[in-house]
């Protein structure tokens, strides 16, 4: 099962709002607010690489108050 970790930058103060929206996406298995360069890290799983790409590109990246993302595909689990 394809999996990725998505690092997310949000607008200032919008971390909890974005976490709430991420948790509504069924393929987002975990999501945490973190300190550092990024504001949130999310673990995403899907049935195929195409579905994973769709979730990141069309669901996560298009959430209100998401400024940027960095997607790290998991090679082995």
Q: Is the pLDDT of residue 76 over 90?
A: no
Q: Taking a C-beta distance cutoff of 8 angstroms, is the pair 45, 31 a contact?
A: no
Give the up-direction half-sphere exposure of residue 23: CA atoms within 13 A in the CB hemisphere. Answer: 10
| β partners of residue 32 | 41
Q: What is the CATH number of the domain that holds 13?
A: 3.30.70.920
With residue 21 as reference, give the H or E element that holds it: helix 15-22
Domain enclosing residue 18, as ranges: 3-73
d(CA 69, CA 76): 22
Q: pLDDT of 12-56, one tens digit each?
A: 999 999 999 999 999 999 999 999 999 999 999 999 999 999 999
Confidence at residue 77, expressed as pLDDT on a 0 to 100 scale = 63
* Total domains in the fold of the chain: 1
Residue 58 has pLDDT above 80, yes or no: yes
């Amino acid at each position: 099962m394809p999996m990725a970790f998505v690092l997310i930058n949000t607008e200032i103060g919008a971390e909890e709002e974005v976490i709430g929206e991420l948790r509504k996406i069924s393929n987002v298995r975990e999501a945490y607010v973190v300190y550092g360069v990024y504001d949130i890290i999310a673990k995403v799983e899907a049935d195929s690489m195409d579905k994973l790409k769709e979730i990141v590109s069309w669901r996560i990246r298009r959430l209100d108050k998401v400024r940027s993302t960095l997607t790290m595909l998991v090679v082995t689990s």
